């Protein structure tokens, strides 16, 4: 029998891993060798946030959970029609391919005293106390603009988010508007803003710019190749921007990425892709992981060039085991075809494991040294993977059906290579009952 869960209670997953996207780097050991479903809660959606030993999630409501057991401790609000549906699941749980409505956006932000989330129905912002017992404040747009896109917490003072062509900053304490920046007509903002505490970074059509977090005034503005898909902060030196460009009469797409210096937006390097890439992840030594053409490839964060792999299974430190020497023969971290003919989504390095989604809607875990898939979690038919958070010995998986927590079956031997975990639905009725009780509190 293997050791039990040890690191969970000290694990914190700040909103979006402390960045505007799903790119949190840590040295937790991947302890899930024989994967099993520990718990499931229907109706929760989007990446969860963990703080103070508690888990917060959006979806059909804003919910607070006990991460180890999955017990729903509190919910912020609910409607009668939604309650009736949850009540039906509590007596006869069936997944019929119909996703729950997303009323609250994922990745709620956790400040010292409040939980702040997106109201997906009109694009507004709602804030509750940490126990979700009472609403603290709310912000509503002048015209309803449905959006589940999260915002970005800047320190413990500001909450910044996009609304149409505008970036809005609210004071966390009372929800008053601190400043507003308008990117201009035709410049719909499609990315979650990023911030290093001093500047707020955002991409518009053909441009990437930084505004002062304190005032909303433009700090710098630089042209980029196209529409910004996502961005990734590299410590205190650069921001990596992934772009999509429409060109030609047939509106063919060209994909690329560039790195801009944080101080003035100076372009440091540019690279291009033959196919649409995933959002970037971070590897050992600050290297970048991109999923391209069904493979996961490491790129230098200094030059933007792909790097060849050098495996050292005896290395004590993952950064050494996954050292990469520049090479004309690039060896992917995970080869094309490892999960069939599917695009790679959100590659994340957890010690010597590469965790990623596939366009098949499933979650996969591969060995970072061999590139072989260790195991996969297959979604029930008709549902898709949305996001995940790996806490070393727990793996939280957000899907269009609800939130799963996977862990290690310590009384079982390690799974055989290529093992596929499928959910039987046994926890469905119990989970729906837990959610129903929270609605009735």
Where in the sequence is the domain holding 429, given as residue range(s)?
Answer: 8-440
Q: Three-state SS for 217?
A: coil
Domain membership of residue 3 (yes or no) is no
Domain membership of residue 1 (yes or no) is no
Q: What is the pLDDT of residues 353-401, one digit of tens each?
A: 899 998 888 999 999 889 999 999 998 777 788 888 888 889 999 988 8
Nearest to 364 by CA among 37, 40, 35: 35
What pLDDT does residue 10 have? 54
Q: Residue 78: pLDDT above 80?
A: no
Q: Report the CATH number that the domain containing residue 189 is assigned in CATH.
A: 2.130.10.10
How far is the C-alpha of 75 from the C-alpha of 91, rounded, in Å?
Answer: 20
- Can you tell me the mean pLDDT for 96-119? 84
Determine the distance from the C-alpha atom of residue 50 to the mean position of all C-alpha atoms in its chain, rounded to a whole number: 13
How far is the C-alpha of 364 from the C-alpha of 376, rounded, in Å?
Answer: 4
User: Which contacts of 124-133 are long-range, i.e. CB under 8 A and separated by 24 or more positions?
Assistant: 125/151, 125/159, 125/161, 125/170, 125/175, 126/62, 126/76, 127/172, 127/175, 128/62, 128/76, 130/52, 130/54, 130/64, 131/64, 131/74, 132/62, 132/63, 132/64, 132/74, 132/75, 132/76, 133/74
- Can you tell me the mean pLDDT for 10-35? 62
Please provide the size of the chain in residues. Answer: 441
Nearest to 208 by CA among 192, 186, 224, 219: 224
Of 69-83, 98-112, 193-207, 399-413, the one with minimum mean pLDDT is 69-83
Asked whether 400 and 383 are in contact (CB, 8 A), the reply is yes
Domain membership of residue 421 (yes or no) is yes
Beta pairing class for 177-182 and 194-195: unpaired
Residues of the chain with pLDDT > 90: what percent?
Answer: 31
What pLDDT does residue 19 have? 46
Q: What is the mean pLDDT of the chain?
A: 80
Q: Residue 244: pLDDT above 50?
A: yes
Q: Residue 115: pLDDT above 90?
A: yes
What pLDDT does residue 213 have? 93
What pLDDT does residue 391 have? 83
Sequence-distant (6+) residues with CB within 8 A of 340 are 294, 358, 360
Sequence-distant (6+) residues with CB within 8 A of 368 are 318, 321, 322, 333, 349, 351, 352, 353, 354
Nearest to 257 by CA among 203, 215, 312: 203
If one counts the domains in the chain, the total is 1
Band of residue 434 on the pLDDT scale cut at 50, 70, 90: low
At 228, phi and psi to the nearest 5? -80, 125
What pLDDT does residue 224 have? 81
Domain membership of residue 357 (yes or no) is yes
- Can you tell me the mean pLDDT for 302-306? 89
Q: Residue 9: pLDDT above 50?
A: no
Q: Residue 130: pLDDT above 70?
A: yes
Band of residue 26 on the pLDDT scale cut at 50, 70, 90: low
Of 9-13, 334-338, 385-389, 414-418, the one with minimum mean pLDDT is 9-13
DSSP letter at 341 equals S
Asked whether 117 and 44 are in contact (CB, 8 A), the reply is no
How far is the C-alpha of 34 from the C-alpha of 53, rounded, in Å?
Answer: 25
Burial (Cβ within 10 Å: 0-12, 13-18, ≥19) of residue 393: buried
Domain membership of residue 2 (yes or no) is no
- Can you tell me the mean pLDDT for 78-102? 54
What pLDDT does residue 326 have? 40
Q: What is the pLDDT of residues 313-361, one digit of tens each?
A: 444 444 444 444 444 456 888 998 888 878 888 888 888 889 999 888 8
Q: Residue 193: pLDDT above 70?
A: yes
Q: What is the pLDDT of residues 155-188, one digit of tens each?
A: 889 999 999 888 999 999 999 999 998 888 877 7
Give 59's strand partners: 44, 104
How far is the C-alpha of 16 from the C-alpha of 117, rounded, in Å?
Answer: 13
What pLDDT does residue 439 have? 61
What pLDDT does residue 236 have? 67
Does the predicted TM-score (pTM) go above 0.75?
yes
- Can you tell me the mean pLDDT for 125-153? 91
What pLDDT does residue 84 have? 56
The beta strand positions in 76-123, using DSSP E, are: 109-110, 114-119
Q: What stretch of H or E contains 357?
A: strand 353-358
How far is the C-alpha of 349 from the C-alpha of 250, rounded, in Å?
Answer: 37
Q: What is the pLDDT of residues 46-65, one digit of tens each?
A: 889 988 889 999 988 899 99
Sequence-distant (6+) residues with CB within 8 A of 134 are 128
223-257 b/e (C-beta count within 10 Å ≥ 16 → b) = ebbbbbbbbbbbeeebbbbbbbeeeeeeeeebbbb
Q: What is the pLDDT of residues 248-299, one digit of tens each?
A: 444 555 788 889 999 899 999 998 888 888 888 877 677 888 888 889 998 9
């Amino acid at each position: 029998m293997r050791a039990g869960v040890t690191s969970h209670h000290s694990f914190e997953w700040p909103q979006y891993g402390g960045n505007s996207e799903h790119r949190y780097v840590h040295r937790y050991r991947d302890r899930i060798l024989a994967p099993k479903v520990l718990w499931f809660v229907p109706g929760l959606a989007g990446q969860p946030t963990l703080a103070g030993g508690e888990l917060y999630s959006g979806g059909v409501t804003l919910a607070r959970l006990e991460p180890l057991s999955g017990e729903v401790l509190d919910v912020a609000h609910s409607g009668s029609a939604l309650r009736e549906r949850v009540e039906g699941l509590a007596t006869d749980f069936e997944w019929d391919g119909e996703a729950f409505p997303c009323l609250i956006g994922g990745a709620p932000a956790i400040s010292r005293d409040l939980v702040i989330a997106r109201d997906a129905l009109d694009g507004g912002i709602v804030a509750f106390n940490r126990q979700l017992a009472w609403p603290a404040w709310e912000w509503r747009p002048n015209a309803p603009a449905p959006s589940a896109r999260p915002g970005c917490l800047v320190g413990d003072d500001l909450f910044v988010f996009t609304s149409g062509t505008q970036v809005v900053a609210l004071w966390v304490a009372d929800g008053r508007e601190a400043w507003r920046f308008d990117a201009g007509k035709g410049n719909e903002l499609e990315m979650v803003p990023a911030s290093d505490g001093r500047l707020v970074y955002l991409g518009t059509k053909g441009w990437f710019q930084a505004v002062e977090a304190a005032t909303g005034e433009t700090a710098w503005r630089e042209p980029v190749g196209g529409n910004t898909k996502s961005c990734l902060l590299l410590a205190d030196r650069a921001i990596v921007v992934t772009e999509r460009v429409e060109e030609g009469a047939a509106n063919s797409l060209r994909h690329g990425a560039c790195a801009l210096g944080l101080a003035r937006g100076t372009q440091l390097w540019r690279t291009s892709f033959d196919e649409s890439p995933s959002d970037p992840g971070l590897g050992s030594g600050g290297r970048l992981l991109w999923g391209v053409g069904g493979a996961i490839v490491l790129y230098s964060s200094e030059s933007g060039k792909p790097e060849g792999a050098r495996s050292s299974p005896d290395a004590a430190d993952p950064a050494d085991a996954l050292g990469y020497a520049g090479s004309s023969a690039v060896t992917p971290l995970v080869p094309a075809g490892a999960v069939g003919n599917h695009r790679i989504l959100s590659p994340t390095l957890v010690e010597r494991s590469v965790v990623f989604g596939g366009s098949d809607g499933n979650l996969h875990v591969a060995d970072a040294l061999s590139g072989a898939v260790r195991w996969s979690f297959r979604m029930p038919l008709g549902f898709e993977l949305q996001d995940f958070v790996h806490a070393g010995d727990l793996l939280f998986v957000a899907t269009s059906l609800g939130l799963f927590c996977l862990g290690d079956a310590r009384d079982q031997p390690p799974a055989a290579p290529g093992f596929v975990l499928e959910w039987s639905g046994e926890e469905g009725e119990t989970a729906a009952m837990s959610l129903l009780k929270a609605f009735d509190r």
